[in-house]
Structure 1
């Protein structure tokens, strides 16, 4: 049995240089693709099968990195390094329902659980073939074990590549990534404030209010960011203000644009609650 660490070095660039210094075997999942010339940001499959000082260094360092950024998995497989690299590299690109090809960063541990969940049974069986255990460190720095398909004596049917996703699969993947993209945009304007909120509070808060925005017909990123800004500055209490009820009702009736109505909201809406960065501990107790 072989043991590997999979590191998305886009989250921690140039880690391959450390591996070279430590004389540790690794391969890039970009091999065979246009991005092969970018080892500094490649997903790296690192062989840690053999015990020793180098393996200890790699394990300790990647664990530390994974607790800070969502980029580390640990795999056990019956395949040697080159064979497993070639297998996983097949999933570098996916084909969207409209026929476009897209780079699929499934090794980002924020995306990995959703990726495993949206695959069909056949796709999942083939993707995880010859992998006997898979754990990852999630966005909150907590180790998670992923349930792999039960194995039988039959060989998973080969798939055509790039892997084709249907509209439902594509929508689930995009939806899973959207809250993180919105947090990235919010940090451009209120980074100092947002960084005061623990990730295990911030992410579910943004996800909840992003879903609220979508349910009320706000599909544009700019509109969702406006609503999220209000939610953050009031710790979500803005929803209790009667003007918000009127705003959502008018959106349903399509009377006026959201941006126009948002910009005419009274100051009292913004003062319905304290900012999240001053008030986040109480939110953990809410259902």
Structure 2
């Protein structure tokens, strides 16, 4: 990743530079993608929380999704951008109400298929998130976003940054070309995707 691309992502994650902001930036990291992720979390010395509940065996915790708050100057933030971008390690989000964030995110870890089977839902994988969100109804978007203002993730190959927000019940999706101008994924202006199935 070039310094210009890195700076572009940083400005998108922290539009105000991270100073005196009312919103915080978090990452949901999929530790099953690479053993380096859990080691990076440990080395960061940041507080991180597993999205699974209860007392887990160490082996499971090391491959579970983990939630961590990021800061512009933190070593983990730099590592996620410099070493992990393009590898689908997880997604970022911004929220002004982080107090119940883990509880909210835990609600979506399991889904039921047409046959009633319970399945794990890996929405924290950018490849899943960018396919799932455009299929949501207005009610589903409201439930899924909850206290979250915006989800941000790498797009295919890491050459783009996808931003997902909500306005008036509709999904707002914008794809930012790294080291290029922001472009909507459809249409000429900021995209409004119908929230109906």
The match for 1:5 among 23, 27, 30 is: 27
1:40 maps to: 62
Q: Secondary structure at the match of 2:46?
A: coil
Task: Sort the Cα spacing of 1:35 and 1:107 in 2 relative to 1 into closer, same or farther, 3 A.
Answer: farther
CA distance in 2, matches of 1:143, 1:31: 33
> 2:151 is paired with a residue of what secondary structure?
strand
Superposed displacement of residue 77, structure 1: 0.4
1:22-33 to 2 correspondences below 5 Å: 22-32=44-54
Select the structure with the greater relative contact order (CA < 8 A; seq sep ≥ 6): 2
Q: CA deviation at 1:62?
A: 1.1
Measured in 2, the distance between the counterparts of 1:98 and 1:36 equals 32
Report SS of the residue matched to 1:61: helix
Is 2:119 the counterpart of 1:99? no
Count of matched residue positions in the alignment of Structure 1 and Structure 2: 147
Structure 1: runs of 5+ lacking an equivalent: 153-287
TM-aligned CA distance change 1:37 to 1:122, over 3 Å: farther
Give the alignment's Cα RMSD to 1 decimal.
2.5
Change in 2 beyond 3 A, CA 1:47/1:96: same
Instruction: Tell me what 1:77 maps to.
Output: 95
- Return closer, same or farther for 1:33/1:23 CA change in 2, 3 Å cut-off: closer
4+ residue runs over 4 A deviation:
32-37
CA distance in 2 between partners of 1:97 and 1:37 (Å): 31
Asked if the contact 2:37–2:89 (Cα under 8 Å) also holds between the matched residues in 1, the reply is no
Aligned counterparts of 1:72 and 1:119: Cα–Cα separation in 2: 20
* Deviation of 1:140 (Å): 0.6
Quote the offset at 1:122 in angstroms. Answer: 0.4
Higher helix share: 1
In structure 2, list runs of 5 or more residues that go unmatched: 1-22, 170-197
